[in-house]
């Protein structure tokens, strides 16, 4: 199966741009791009383009018509001008770690890999600003800044591999966002090329810019507004010390209540993560983090700062957690132990891959006060769909990652996983949350976007897109569903879960 | 639809049909800021009140006509605050005007900009539609972040009806320290402190008396304020004086903004310019009286220098210059935009307000033909 997968059927229809490649069109575009790119910067043969057929969302794959690997901004400008003239879609790609299919190729399009933009252009410790190319790995910035006592705060769990360009496209978060913010809060300036080839700077290294603040549109735009060629990120002073409390609870609700009490006490932890009992049971044998496998839920609560600050804050956190009914508390004694506490949480996804052939990671955000209701509903859905679903939760900012365990080789299991995920996201919207906290919409959540936004707002999103890319060649078909798609999904949706003749194949 | 929204929608539709522009204006406290006021006044103050506030969620949802002071006292009662420390510039300030102006106070450099705290917004656009962007949760990447685009949009895209803002706990302890320093020395220190884990929440340098006075506000837990106090040194300002200093900077009631400048600027005061530059930019070397905030990133200048000289200097340093208190009718308040950016502005305007009903020319030039 080269193009669609079983999951497409559950979605109603395949994403845009999934289909066979037209060889004549491929030759034409290849010839045109050869004018501006050397041979080693263009891939056309299937054996070369295969590594690009999907990103971190492996449910969908599609060979790109061509892969372009530019090294310079003038090459990016030329590629975009040529593609615009020929009406060829362009799909920008960083490290390909997106979990929502944001970098899924287009069968008639050019996959624009920014991997060769891999230089840290400058790192000014006095200004606390690093200027980096988009292909630079997230973690490399903090590694380079460490010698100056500085770090780059957003730390998505893929930080070893993911690129800053991809982080800008997705507005990536991580486990420290509650205190240190998302990518948007840590990016000062983005230099980018528009689809018409013009070069623009959004933001600056000052704290504001004249005119409308376009940076929040560009950050999180999933590669649909502009192609990023350079980013200025803000570096923060590295805290002298960090300590982590590991707290066990015998009820999930008690853990959720503890989170509300911490915040209510005026404490903003550097990290605040929750895992339910099923997630702990999945992770502990694999990561040996020292988690309490008897607990219904555990919390990881981190304090950072100077030594006296941390001592003071940890004491306050401990007393709040005890009052909230924690059954066990461990405070990390040294850096090794702190990292071991985190190793369990950071290995939740690989652990899911060990206990199940496949897993489907959801990414809804909910108001924290609804956590108990949502977890209870997910427990019931496990029975309904016959699939297990451990939960990890960025508790501080309400971002829930249910991990639906399924088997991709079993088409029925795929369909159930997809429907399970959709129902979780619908619930997130119902309780006042959102279908994606940090992974992006990509191709994955197009349908649930129809539930979160009304037609007027969706139309406004398309207007925003046209304001930047009037030819609409950048990453078409991603992130914002067309009204036609929503209408079609609405028809399906009315009957979902209630289909007559459930044994018949659908769509 | 709530009646207070309905009446606004009717006004917008009537204005659109009659092709008469509207000027969104509540308390009028920020009339001085931005391009000229054109059109009939549209007052959103009938649409007011806090919609939802749950302190443990760190989010408040509030209607735009709500007095800013009312919102802040509701937060204060629960030990929380708007961390961007917005200026009021008068008793009539509303939440809508606060968000639309996008202005932040002394805490900006360390806490973040107003737009960093916007989580969601409802907008009445130029077609008379109510659009709902973002939400009430802290992490949300569904759809383009239009709610944050509205921060500082000066009403050019529509009437902000409601916003959801992230709020933060108030610091347990605050202290203000003062040190003598000249301009270059103050810039050096502010930037060096910025690279260290110190509980600084605001900085200001003034040149009133030679060589100049650097003020630093510390905010946080007792432990963090104590350790920063030891590291920074200087003399501590009594709490009431500290409060007067920082609120005077935020509201521009400080003598720097209200008085004719003393030496070293012998010339007449001239208008107030706001130069936003990278914090490490060297001393400006421009004539006039200066006050520095935001760790060096915000340089106020009362000067008679021509706009072009100020803009050229600010741009060479990587920033921009704004004629902050412009006086009526000026349309050269902001630094002109590069052509591709200006084109995006025109297209966004056309998307949200195709008949150019709202706040024409308040933030960027709007050519008559489109």
Residue B259: the pLDDT is 79
In a shared domain, residues A160 and A281: no
> Which of the four pLDDT bands, split at 50, 70 and 90, describes residue A506?
very low
User: CB–CB of B91/B113 below 8 Å?
Assistant: no
Domain extent for A445: 356-495
ipTM of the predicted structure? 0.96
User: CB–CB of B152/B114 below 8 Å?
Assistant: yes
Is residue A158 one of the residues assigned to a domain?
yes
User: CB–CB of A437/A393 below 8 Å?
Assistant: no
> Which of the four pLDDT bands, split at 50, 70 and 90, describes residue A499?
very low
Is residue A184 one of the residues assigned to a domain?
yes
User: CB–CB of A82/A36 below 8 Å?
Assistant: yes
Residue A503: the pLDDT is 39
Is residue A368 one of the residues assigned to a domain?
yes
Residue B181: the pLDDT is 97
pLDDT per residue as tens digits for the range B304-322: 999 999 999 999 999 999 9
User: What is the count of structural domains for chain A?
Assistant: 4
CATH 3.40.1350.10 fits B3-168, yes or no: no
Triad B250, B212, B178: Cα angle to 5°: 65
Question: Can you tell me the distance from the alpha carbon of A82 to that of A76, in angstroms, rounded to the nearest whole number?
Answer: 10
Q: What is the CATH number of the domain that holds A15?
A: 3.30.43.10
Specify the pTM: 0.95
In a shared domain, residues A332 and A401: no
Using CB atoms, which residue from B140, B149, B221 is nearest to A434? B140
Is residue A502 one of the residues assigned to a domain?
no
Phi (first) and psi of residue B167, to 5 degrees: -120, 165
Is residue A500 one of the residues assigned to a domain?
no
In a shared domain, residues A13 and A31: yes
Contact A367 B57 (CB under 8 A): yes
Residue A349: the pLDDT is 86
Question: Can you tell me the distance from the alpha carbon of A17 to that of A339, in angstroms, rounded to the nearest whole number?
Answer: 43
Is residue A45 one of the residues assigned to a domain?
yes
Contact B341 A394 (CB under 8 A): no
In a shared domain, residues A336 and A360: no
pLDDT per residue as tens digits for the range A167-200: 999 999 988 899 999 999 999 999 999 999 999 9
Q: Please give the distance of CA B184 from its chain centroid, rounded to a whole number.
A: 26
Question: Can you tell me the distance from the alpha carbon of B271 to that of B332, in angstroms, rounded to the nearest whole number?
Answer: 13
3-state secondary structure of A279: helix
For an interface test with B, which of A309, A449, A455 has the most B Cβ atoms less than 10 Å from its Cβ?
A309
Phi (first) and psi of residue A335, to 5 degrees: -65, -35
CA distance A487 to chain B (A): 18
Q: What is the CATH number of the domain that holds A396?
A: 3.30.70.2740
Q: Please give the distance of CA A102 from its chain centroid, rounded to a whole number.
A: 9
User: CB–CB of B132/B146 below 8 Å?
Assistant: no
Chain A residues whose CB is inside 8 A of the B363 CB are: 211-212
Please identify, among A237, A268, A300, the residue that sits at the C-terminal boundary of a domain: A237
In a shared domain, residues A141 and A200: yes
CA distance B48 to chain A (A): 21
Q: Which of A186, A181, A430 is nearest to B117 (CA)?
A: A181
pLDDT per residue as tens digits for the range A372-411: 899 999 999 999 999 999 999 999 889 999 999 999 899 9
Residue A28: the pLDDT is 98
pLDDT per residue as tens digits for the range A448-463: 999 999 999 999 999 9
State which residues of chain B have pLDDT below 70: 260-269, 327-329, 368-370
Is residue A449 one of the residues assigned to a domain?
yes
Which sign, positive or negative, has the C-alpha torsion A384, A389, A391, A392?
negative
**What is the arithmetic mean of pLDDT over A317-326?**
98
DSSP-assigned states of every residue in B39-55: SEEE-GGGS-SEEEEEG
In a shared domain, residues A178 and A61: no
Whole-number average pLDDT of chain A: 92
Question: Can you tell me the distance from the alpha carbon of B347 to that of B330, in angstroms, rounded to the nearest whole number?
Answer: 24
**What is the arithmetic mean of pLDDT over A195-209?**
98
Tokens 């590069």 belong to which residue?
B338
Please identify, among A203, A237, A271, the residue that sits at the C-terminal boundary of a domain: A237
> How much of chain A exceeds pLDDT 90, in percent?
83
Residue of A nearest to B338 (CA): A200
Q: What is the CATH number of the domain that holds A169?
A: 3.30.465.10
Domain locations along chain B: 3-168, 173-323
In a shared domain, residues A209 and A174: yes
**What is the arithmetic mean of pLDDT over A57-79?**
95
Residue of A nearest to B192 (CA): A126
Contact A460 B220 (CB under 8 A): no
Residue A493: the pLDDT is 52
**What is the arithmetic mean of pLDDT over A283-311?**
94
> Which of the four pLDDT bands, split at 50, 70 and 90, describes residue A332?
very high
Please identify, among A237, A257, A273, the residue that sits at the C-terminal boundary of a domain: A237
pLDDT per residue as tens digits for the range A409-424: 999 999 999 999 999 9
Is residue A505 one of the residues assigned to a domain?
no
In a shared domain, residues A98 and A155: no
User: CB–CB of B273/B324 below 8 Å?
Assistant: yes
């Amino acid at each position: 199966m080269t193009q669609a997968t079983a999951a497409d059927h559950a979605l109603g229809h395949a994403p845009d741009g999934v289909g066979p490649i037209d060889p004549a069109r491929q030759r034409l575009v290849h010839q045109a791009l050869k004018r501006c790119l050397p041979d080693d910067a263009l891939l056309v043969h299937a054996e070369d383009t295969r590594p690009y057929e999907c990103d971190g969302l492996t449910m969908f794959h599609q060979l790109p018509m061509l892969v372009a690997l530019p090294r310079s901004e003038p090459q990016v400008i030329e590629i975009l001008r040529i593609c615009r003239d020929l009406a060829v879609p362009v799909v920008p790609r960083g490290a390909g770690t997106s979990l929502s299919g944001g970098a899924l190729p287009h069968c008639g399009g050019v996959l624009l890999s920014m991997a060769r933009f891999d230089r840290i252009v400058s790192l000014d410790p006095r200004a606390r600003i690093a200027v980096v190319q988009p292909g630079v790995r997230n973690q490399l910035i903090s590694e380079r800044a460490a010698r100056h006592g500085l770090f780059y705060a957003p730390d998505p769990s893929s930080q070893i591999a993911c690129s800053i360009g991809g982080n800008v496209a997705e507005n990536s978060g991580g486990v420290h966002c509650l205190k240190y913010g998302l990518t948007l809060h840590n990016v000062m300036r983005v230099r980018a090329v528009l689809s018409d080839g013009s070069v623009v700077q959004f933001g600056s290294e000052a704290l504001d810019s004249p005119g409308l603040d376009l940076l929040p549109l560009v950050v999180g735009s999933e590669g649909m507004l502009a192609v990023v060629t350079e980013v200025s990120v803000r570096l923060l002073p590295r805290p002298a010390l960090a300590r982590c409390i590991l707290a066990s609870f015998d009820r999930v609700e008690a853990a959720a209540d503890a989170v509300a009490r911490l915040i209510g006490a005026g404490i903003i932890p550097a990290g605040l993560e929750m895992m339910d009992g099923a997630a702990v049971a999945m992770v502990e044998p694999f990561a040996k983090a020292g988690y309490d496998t008897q607990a219904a839920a555990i919390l990881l609560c981190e304090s950072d700062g100077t030594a006296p600050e941390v001592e003071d804050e940890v004491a306050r956190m401990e007393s709040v957690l005890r009052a909230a009914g924690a059954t066990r508390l461990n405070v990390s004694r040294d850096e090794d132990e702190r990292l071991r506490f985190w190793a369990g949480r950071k290995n939740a996804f690989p652990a899911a891959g060990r206990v199940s052939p496949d897993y489907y990671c959801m990414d809804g955000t909910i108001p924290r006060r609804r956590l108990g209701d949502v977890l209870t509903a997910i427990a019931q859905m496990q029975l309904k769909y016959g699939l297990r679903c451990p939960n990890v939760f960025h508790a501080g900012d309400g971002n829930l990652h249910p991990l639906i365990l399924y088997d991709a080789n079993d088409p029925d299991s795929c369909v159930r996983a997809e429907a399970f995920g959709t129902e979780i996201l619908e619930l997130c919207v119902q309780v006042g949350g959102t279908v994606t906290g940090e992974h992006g919409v990509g191709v994955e959540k197009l349908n649930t976007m129809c539930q979160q936004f009304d037609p007027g707002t969706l139309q406004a999103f398309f207007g925003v897109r046209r304001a930047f890319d009037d030819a609409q060649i950048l990453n078409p078909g991603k992130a914002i569903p067309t009204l036609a798609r929503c209408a079609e999904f609405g028809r399906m949706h009315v009957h979902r879960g209630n289909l007559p003749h459930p044994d018949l194949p659908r769509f | 639809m709530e009646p207070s929204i309905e009446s606004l929608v009717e006004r917008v539709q009537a204005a659109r049909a009659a092709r008469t522009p509207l000027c969104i204006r509540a308390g009028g406290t920020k009339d001085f800021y931005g391009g000229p006021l054109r059109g009939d006044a549209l007052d959103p103050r009938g649409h007011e009140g806090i919609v939802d506030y749950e302190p443990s969620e760190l989010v408040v949802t509030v209607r735009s006509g709500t007095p800013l002071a009312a919102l802040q006292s509701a937060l204060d009662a629960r030990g929380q605050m708007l961390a961007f420390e917005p200026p009021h510039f008068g008793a009539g300030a509303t939440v809508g005007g606060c968000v639309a102006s996008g202005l932040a106070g002394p805490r900006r450099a360390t806490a973040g900009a107003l737009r960093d705290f916007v989580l969601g917004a409802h907008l009445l656009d130029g077609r008379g539609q109510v659009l709902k962007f973002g939400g009430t949760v802290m992490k949300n990447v569904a759809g383009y972040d239009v709610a944050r685009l509205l921060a500082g949009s000066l009403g050019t895209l529509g009437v902000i009806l409601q916003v959801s803002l992230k709020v933060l706990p108030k610091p347990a302890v605050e202290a203000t320290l003062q040190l003598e320093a000249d301009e270059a020395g103050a810039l050096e220190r502010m930037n060096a402190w910025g690279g260290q884990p110190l509980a600084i929440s605001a900085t200001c340098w003034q040149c009133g008396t030679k060589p100049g006075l650097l003020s630093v506000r510390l905010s946080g837990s007792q432990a963090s304020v104590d350790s920063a106090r030891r590291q920074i040194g200087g003399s501590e300002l009594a709490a009431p004086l500290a409060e007067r200093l920082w609120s005077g900077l935020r509201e521009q009631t400080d003598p720097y903004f209200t008085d004719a400048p003393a030496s070293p600027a012998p010339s007449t005061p001239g208008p107030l310019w706001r130069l936003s530059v990278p914090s490490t930019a060297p001393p400006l070397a421009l004539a006039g009286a200066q006050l520095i905030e935001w760790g060096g990133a915000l340089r106020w200048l009362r000067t008679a220098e021509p706009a072009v000289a100020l803009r050229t200097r600010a741009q060479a340093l990587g920033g921009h210059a704004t004629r902050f208190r412009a006086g009526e009718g000026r349309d050269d308040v902001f630094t002109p935009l590069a052509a591709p950016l200006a084109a995006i502005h025109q297209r966004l305007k056309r998307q949200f307000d195709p008949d150019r009903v709202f706040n024409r020319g308040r933030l960027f030039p709007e050519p008559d033909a489109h």
